Structure 1
Amino acid sequence: MAGNKDSDGGWRRFLWNSEKGEFLGRTGCSWFKIFMFYLIFYGCLAGIFIGTIQAMLLTLSNYKPTYQDRVAPPGLSHTPRSLKSEIAFNRSDKSTYEKYVKSLEDLLHPYTDELQTEQMKFEDCGVTPDSYKDRGSAEAEAGQRMACRFYRSLLDKCSGESDASFGFKEGKPCLIVKLNRIVNFRPRAPDNHSLPEAVQNIQMANVIPIHCKNKREGEEDKVGEIQYYGMGQGFPLQYYPYYGKRLHPQYLQPLVAIHFTNVTQNQEVRIECKVYGANIDYSEKDRYQGRFEVKFTITS
């Protein structure tokens, strides 16, 4: 019992020693010194951290990326998208393709004619492919840049204007394709010799063409006829470069609609689409770099 009392007294003495005026083994002066030490120490660390962040921010632009060395331009994306790029639906059951139709409508809403009427924000850039629309450097001195109009009516049967189901009701679905936005990127037209035969007849001076075909050998008949709608069967160069969200907030990137008019039904059909440009590469690690694959399963 005496040992327990001594032990209890030892703990109480450690918490507060009235004889020496110590709290947790330190006097008030000692606590003040250690508090000041850590205050100065961590204050200096915080100052160094804030200083390095501020120094880094001075090297960055508010209008364009300073470093783009890890960007592999450009990605090719399609709408509608689904899990594992598989588009499966029953053309007789509207509920099975309603989500695809909605995603297409959402994509095309900004391309509605009525939303492109402001003369200070939009300009006509022609209805045929043309060269780059140079609007200066990607800095703030010229203010916000005007955007080329791109009307959804250019997408013809895949515009949603004449057919609200975008072909899904008839088992002839549409895909709408775009090149992903990269600030100040200028895609270059391809060399005619590097193109597949089906694309070589396109006038490519000012357009980045796109072409789709069967992914598996010997399945050409399953894919059937493919029609392309847009401007010049590809991405016209007058819509480039893109200046970023701050300088180009109303920018509309060009679209290409791909209409699969005779896909074999009740079977799985794999299709690969590629864009062709002198500075567009493909990567085995990224299946959306300059291309994409899609699998159709259409039942009736």
Structure 2
Amino acid sequence: MSGNKDSDGGWRTFLWNSEKREFLGRTGCSWFKIISFYVIFYICLAGIFVGTIQALLLTLSNYKPTYQDRVAPPGLSHTPRSEKSEIAFTKSDEGSYKKYTDSMKTFLRQYDDDRQTDQMKFEDCGDSPRPYTDRGPLEADTTQKKVCRFRRSLLGSCSGVDDPHFGFNEGKPCIIVKLNRIVFFRPKAPSSNESLPEPLQAKAQPNLIPIYCKNKRDEDEGKIGEIKYFGMGEGFPLQYYPYYGKLLQPQYLQPLVAIQFTNLTLDQELRVECKAFGENIAYSEKDRYQGRFDIKFTIKS
């Protein structure tokens, strides 16, 4: 019992020693010094952190990303998108392809004519491919800039205006293709026809980034059939570039190309590869969407 009392007295003394006027083994002066030290220490750490962030922010632009590490310029993508880049449906069953047509309708809604009527935001940039539309240096003028109109009617039978099924009900599916947006990027048209596939050489235009699709596998040759291209010049016209970013061009509409596969062999898996051709458009085996993409079709009757 006496041992417990001694032990209890030791703890009480440690908590508060009335003789030395110590709390938890320290005097008031000692506590003041150590608390002051840690307060100053953490204030300095916070100051270093805030200063580092502020210094980093000074190197960033509000109008152009300093680093672009997602896809090397430019990426080529398509609508509708699907898991594993596969489009599979039964042409006689609307429910099997409704998800594809719904996504295309949603995507193309921003290209409706009635959304491009504001003269202060939109302008006509011609009906044929033209050179770049220069709207000044990127950060010289921070007011919003106009954008070029792109009408859905340019996409022909793949516009969804006359055919809400986009050809899926006939086994002739359409896809919508675009170059991904990159702030102030200027795609360059091919420098010579020799770099283009033979079917494109006769159609090459100086202010156009052409696109071409073909069978990806040798065994699919002859099973793809005719491929139709719709859009301004059947490619990406240069007057829609450069893109000035969301702050300066919130209404920007990138040019589109619609591709319709009119005679795909039914009940077989077919792989198609599409490429955009330009002097500064490269391809990578590590990135399937850098300047190109491939897609698998499986259409059942």
Q: Answer whether TM exceeds 0.5 for this pair.
A: yes
**Compared with structure 1, are the counterparts of its residues 78 and 69 closer, same or farther at alpha carbon in structure 2 (3 Å cutoff)?**
closer
- SS of equivalent residue, structure 1 residue 271: strand
Are 2:271 and 1:265 equivalent residues in the alignment? no
Amino acid of the structure 2 residue aligned with 1:234: G
Structure 1 Cα separation of the partners of residues 24 and 216 of structure 2: 75
Mind listing any 5+ residue stretches in structure 1 that lack a counterpart? none
**Compared with structure 1, are the counterparts of its residues 93 and 8 closer, same or farther at alpha carbon in structure 2 (3 Å cutoff)?**
farther
Structure 2 Cα separation of the partners of residues 260 and 15 of structure 1: 84
TM-score by length of 2: 0.95
8 Å contact 2:193–2:204 — kept in the other structure? no
The alpha carbon displacement at 1:67 in A equals: 4.2
8 Å contact 1:64–1:183 — kept in the other structure? yes
1:149-298 to 2 correspondence within 5 Å? 149-190=149-190, 191-298=192-299
The alpha carbon displacement at 1:23 in A equals: 2.2
Structure 1 Cα separation of the partners of residues 87 and 55 of structure 2: 49
Amino acid of the structure 2 residue aligned with 1:144: Q
**Compared with structure 1, are the counterparts of its residues 28 and 172 closer, same or farther at alpha carbon in structure 2 (3 Å cutoff)?**
same
Are 2:52 and 1:52 equivalent residues in the alignment? yes
The alpha carbon displacement at 1:15 in A equals: 2.5
The alpha carbon displacement at 1:224 in A equals: 1.0
CA RMSD of aligned residues (A): 1.5
The alpha carbon displacement at 1:76 in A equals: 0.4
Amino acid of the structure 2 residue aligned with 1:240: Y
The alpha carbon displacement at 1:170 in A equals: 1.0
Amino acid of the structure 2 residue aligned with 1:81: R
Structure 1 Cα separation of the partners of residues 11 and 122 of structure 2: 79
Structure 1 Cα separation of the partners of residues 273 and 45 of structure 2: 53
The alpha carbon displacement at 1:92 in A equals: 1.4
8 Å contact 1:136–1:142 — kept in the other structure? no
Structure 2 Cα separation of the partners of residues 198 and 238 of structure 1: 24
> How much identity, in percent, do the aligned residues show?
71
The alpha carbon displacement at 1:28 in A equals: 2.2
Amino acid of the structure 2 residue aligned with 1:64: K
Structure 1 Cα separation of the partners of residues 275 and 113 of structure 2: 29
- SS of equivalent residue, structure 2 residue 270: strand
1:24-103 to 2 correspondence within 5 Å? 24-68=24-68, 72-103=72-103
Structure 2 Cα separation of the partners of residues 50 and 162 of structure 1: 57
Amino acid of the structure 1 residue aligned with 2:238: L
Query: What is the CA deviation profile of residues 201-229 of structure 1, one whole-angstrom value per residue up to 9, with x for unaligned ones?
Result: 22320000000111101312221110000
Query: What is the CA deviation profile of residues 140-178 of structure 1, one whole-angstrom value per residue up to 9, with x for unaligned ones?
Result: 526111000000110001000110011111111111000
Structure 1 Cα separation of the partners of residues 117 and 229 of structure 2: 27
Q: Mean Cα displacement is larger for which, 69-78 or 275-284? A: 69-78
Amino acid of the structure 2 residue aligned with 1:222: K
TM-score by length of 1: 0.96
Structure 2 Cα separation of the partners of residues 272 and 13 of structure 1: 82
Paired residue total: 300
Amino acid of the structure 1 residue aligned with 2:256: L
Q: Mean Cα displacement is larger for which, 27-36 or 64-73? A: 64-73
Structure 2 Cα separation of the partners of residues 270 and 69 of structure 1: 28
The alpha carbon displacement at 1:6 in A equals: 3.0
Structure 2 Cα separation of the partners of residues 189 and 280 of structure 1: 9
Are 2:93 and 1:114 equivalent residues in the alignment? no
Match of 1:137 in 2: 137
The alpha carbon displacement at 1:106 in A equals: 1.1
Structure 1 Cα separation of the partners of residues 117 and 234 of structure 2: 25
Match of 2:22 in 1: 22
Amino acid of the structure 1 residue aligned with 2:62: N
The alpha carbon displacement at 1:71 in A equals: 5.7
Structure 2 Cα separation of the partners of residues 72 and 14 of structure 1: 66
Structure 1 Cα separation of the partners of residues 120 and 31 of structure 2: 66
The alpha carbon displacement at 1:14 in A equals: 2.2
**Compared with structure 1, are the counterparts of its residues 162 and 86 closer, same or farther at alpha carbon in structure 2 (3 Å cutoff)?**
same
Structure 2 Cα separation of the partners of residues 112 and 249 of structure 1: 16
- SS of equivalent residue, structure 1 residue 258: strand
Match of 1:126 in 2: 126
- SS of equivalent residue, structure 1 residue 103: helix
Q: Mean Cα displacement is larger for which, 160-169 or 18-27? A: 18-27
